[in-house]
Structure 1
């Protein structure tokens, strides 16, 4: 049997089982892509997600598919990588979709919205619900597709010069807050500032802003926010499980073979899981170190959470009435979220709450 006939009849799975995979990879074209990140190199966990992805792609193609990773500012500003992918200046970006909510609030649904889903729920919506399908339909008008590229888990509520004691303290607060959540903060009386991660410390230090949120203990410690704003709040009502994505130029993606597309999907899924695992592993030690160095933890008061929830739901209703893109995606997102929260309240919460009691009792 001729090799070409064998590959056609056996299919890729059969070829792999027969040990012929090296020859299949060998037949693929050498490809060189560039990836623009929205993150600085100093943040090895979130920036590193793109490097993990790139290495996996190279490893699975025997080095034939190379993707060079470029930190924020190297090829283009952190908050303009979407334009770079859209117009084909770069083939890919690694970013948080809500950064681009100014073009359309629907972008935020691909990452996180206030009182959205946690990381596991978001991944479930993307892979097993309609999330990937609906977001790709939306992204089509911007000439790119998405692949999940990480999640930080529920974030902290940021660093404050003075702790928030009531909803009244939100009035006039100049707060660096990422993306779409700033619209809710405005409705609460705050003054949102959309500043890239690499510029937050200077803004806090100079007093340009009163408070700032970024991600969580591991990354926040690296950026040194505790040195200029000692009060550390939780939880971030605006980011229960923010997804980081790979944006891929549609023409570049469509030009790939089926095998290379499958490799990109596999590498992104690995990077997605890897990032979450790293944050879960690294945050506990970083938080202990921050507290030991003088950081003061505080929980956001209930009236702050209630006001944020009220204003978030009101905003979503307004957007559903005025924005067809938002309405289409949010209706599905909202239904899935409701089912997930009810399910998590049974087994997950029941188990977690018991284990938390044991930890607080010093038994763990």
Structure 2
């Protein structure tokens, strides 16, 4: 090969290397391939209302973040902050609404100071079970109403976990009658707190990381949280040995992922679909997880920790039923949107109660015979 041919070959080789380095290369037909596209990374911040690494609640938030990253092939990443790491638990909503965080994971009834209708998207006294609230939100028009409510504050929200049935709480002393609620100081948020007040007690909402100390120091006489699984790790049984049920205030508590609306609108349809899918997956997965783990930890609490299980007296439950109907109605009286949310919820609850009355209710009663 003469010198001119040698230089020509070298030039072609250099051009090929350069083309490859620029992401071009050659196609199977011998022509230049399409340039490689550098994929954009979307990074989001999520603040939560839960203590760090708390099983169930805290890990549901982490699981949502992990599923978003996995479903996006790593193109979407979510940094999760526990309550107090970025902002205090009850400031999560305002932080996301202002855009200082992109997402929150929490319970919507924490925002009832803005509108009592938020309670309907977590739990209300003598309301819906986990399966029922999922049915209403997903198939009964609840999601559209939720988006209308949250949209007033610049947020869009989705179901992001469900605890299933919650217990009535931990009490230092036994509850034998309605009189035992008079003067009782209890940690209980949402409309459940209104029930305790109507019974003559005092209720306040405390974030999870403050409850144990309040119980230990006597600031409160009783507390509810979730159930055996979550409550075991917060140690309430060490201060209050009487564990009461059923949880009339939260028969199936939906948890939420709220997203800043401007941030949501800036995402591609694919990214939005990924977030929806991740929330939906974690929401459905959590129902079975809570049911199973509550069974495991109930045995542990009773057999290893000496916890005494109690049922609220019939007269208490009868009075709670009366009070709850009025409290739900009051929550729907704040305005036109609140009224429409209340009416939609109650209409769905009536249908769902009818089905439960001939299906799960009789079955569960018969199973205990």
String of CA shifts for 1:297-329, please: whole Å, max 9, x gaps: 110111111222212222333444453332110
CA offsets 1:208-233 (integer angstroms, 9 cap, x no match): 10000000001111111111110110
Measured in 2, the distance between the counterparts of 1:79 and 1:180 equals: 16
What corresponds to 1:308 in structure 2?
320
Deviation at 1:167, TM superposition (A): 0.9
Number of residues of Structure 1 aligned to a counterpart in Structure 2: 333
Question: In the TM superposition, what is the alpha-carbon distance from 1:275 to its structure 2 partner?
Answer: 1.7
Q: Residue in 2 aligned with 1:5?
A: none
Q: Which residue of 2 aligns with 1:255?
A: 266
Q: Which residue of 2 aligns with 1:346?
A: 358
Q: Tell me, yes or no, if the aligned pair for 2:53 and 2:59 is still in contact at 8 Å.
A: no
- SS of the residue 2:190 aligns to: coil
Shift of 1:179: 2.3
CA RMSD of aligned residues (A): 1.5
User: What are the Cα deviations for residues 257-294 of structure 1, in whole angstroms up to 9, with x where unaligned?
Assistant: 11111111111011101222211111112111111121
Q: Distance in 1 between matches of 2:214 and 2:330?
A: 33
Q: Structure 2: any 5+ residue segments left out of the alignment?
A: 1-33
SS of 2:233 mapped into structure 1: helix
Are 1:283 and 2:302 an aligned pair? no
> Does the residue aligned with 1:343 lie in a helix, a strand or coil?
helix
Q: Does the Cα contact within 8 Å between 1:46 and 1:275 map onto a contact in 2? A: no
User: CA 1:252–1:322 in 2, change beyond 3 Å: closer, same or farther?
Assistant: closer
Rate the CA distance shift 1:320–1:48 in 2: closer, same or farther, 3 A: closer
State the shift of 1:68 in Å.
Answer: 0.7
Map 1:117-266 → 2, pairs under 5 A: 117-266=128-277
CA distance in 2, matches of 1:310, 1:348: 23
Q: Is 1:55 aligned with 2:32? A: no
CA contact (8 A) 1:176 1:211 kept: yes
Aligned-partner Cα distance in 1 for 2:211–2:163: 18
- Report which of the two structures shows the higher radius of gyration computed on alpha carbons: 2
For structure 1, the residue ranges without an aligned partner over 5 or more in a row are 1-22, 358-364
TM-score by structure 1 length?
A: 0.89
Q: 1:138 to 1:128 in 2, by over 3 A?
A: same
Q: CA deviation at 1:30?
A: 1.1
